[in-house]
Chain A
Amino acid sequence: DAGVTQSPTHLIKTRGQQVTLRCSPISGHKSVSWYQQVLGQGPQFIFQYYEKEERGRGNFPDRFSARQFPNYSSELNVNALLLGDSALYLCASSLDVFGTEAFFGQGTRLTVV
Chain B
Amino acid sequence: QQQVKQSPQSLIVQKGGISIINCAYENTAFDYFPWYQQFPGKGPALLIAIRPDVSEKKEGRFTISFNKSAKQFSLHIMDSQPGDSATYFCAASFSNTGNQFYFGTGTSLTVIP
Contact = CB atoms under 8 A, between A and B. Distances in A.
Interface of A: 4, 31, 33, 35, 40-45, 48, 50, 55-56, 58, 90, 92-94, 96-107
Nearest to B4: A42
A54 to B, nearest CB: 11
16 contacts: A4-B43, A31-B98, A42-B4, A42-B91, A42-B104, A43-B44, A43-B89, A45-B100, A58-B100, A98-B95, A99-B99, A100-B34, A100-B95, A102-B101, A104-B44, A106-B42
Q: Which 6 A-B pairs have the closest CB atoms?
A: A42-B103, A104-B43, A102-B99, A33-B99, A94-B99, A56-B100
B62 interface: no
Contacts of B98: 31, 33, 48, 50, 55, 94, 96-100, 102
A87 B56 CA distance: 34
Contacts of A92: 43, 99
B106 A41 contact: yes
Given A101-B46, A102-B101, 4 more contacts: A45-B100, A48-B98, A55-B97, A105-B43
Contacts of B97: 48, 55-56, 98
Contact of A43 (B46, B95, B96, B101): B101
Contacts of B41: 106
A48 B105 contact: no
A41 B105 contact: yes
Contacts of B13: none
Contacts of A96: 98
A105 B100 CA distance: 15
B49 interface: yes
Nearest to A107: B43
B7 interface: no
Contacts of B46: 101-103
A80 to B, nearest CB: 25
A100 B103 contact: no
